[in-house]
Amino acid sequence: MKKRHIILFSGYALFIIVSLFTAYPPGITIGKNFISFGVSMLKVLPAAFILIGLFDVWVKKETIEKHLGSGAGPVSYFWILLLAGSSVGGIYVSLPVSAALYRKGAALSVIFAYLTASAVFRIPMCIFESTFLGLKFTLLRFAVSLPLIILSSRILARITEKSPEKDKIYPE
């Protein structure tokens, strides 16, 4: 770990400890939130990383390239939306899944679509949303979001692929 990270983390920990001893309410709240977030991550991450590891071992690179690679066409967005809708754990699970997809040969536009769709189309969130805002609203949001997700992911992929830094995305 870099020296700067150690200094920043030590400063953060010192702030929380001093806040506890001085009964500084914002510091105590920050500490409680940190613990709450950490516990929720520890509930999801181990299972998610085991599944990602199994995905890495069990799913062949050729399968990902065939269904999610640059030659897969529009049907790849259908598959990635299904994957994104069924994913749990938020962004701290979506990023390792994206890295695994990239290593297996998925197109960058499909990976960008996955990252965006995993924030927008998760099934539990959509059920909650349709319960409170109505099915019509949820379907309208889908109809508006889906083309924008695909369009923006294709634009981001085009920009990224032209970048001289592309090889640094995920070095082998």
Give the phi and the psi of residue 21 in degrees, each rounded to 5.
-75, -30
Angle at 72 between CA 146 and CA 88, to 5 degrees: 50
- For 121-152, the pLDDT digits (tens) are 888 888 888 899 999 999 999 999 999 999 99
Q: Is the pLDDT of residue 17 over 90?
A: yes
Alpha carbon distances (Å) from 17 to 6, 27, 38, 40, 158: 16, 8, 17, 22, 47
Looking at the whole model, is its pTM more than 0.75?
yes
Place of tokens 């109809």: 143
Give the Cα-Cα-Cα angle 118, 129, 84 (nearest 5 degrees).
Answer: 15
24 Cβ neighbours under 8 A, 6+ residues apart: 18
Query: Is the pLDDT at 23 greater than 60, yes or no?
Result: yes
Segment 4-20 shows an average pLDDT of 92
Evaluate if residue 111 carries a pLDDT over 90: yes
Apex 146 CA angle, 144 and 149, nearest 5: 110
Q: Where are the domains of the chain?
A: 1-46, 59-168
Contact 95/62 with Cβ under 8 angstroms? no
Structure confidence by residue, pLDDT tens digits, 67-91:
998 888 889 999 999 999 888 777 8
Give the contacts of 69 (CB within 8 A, at least 6 positions apart).
76, 105, 106, 107, 110
> For position 168, what pLDDT does the model report?
66
Tokens of 167: 């090889």
Q: Is residue 172 over pLDDT 60?
A: no
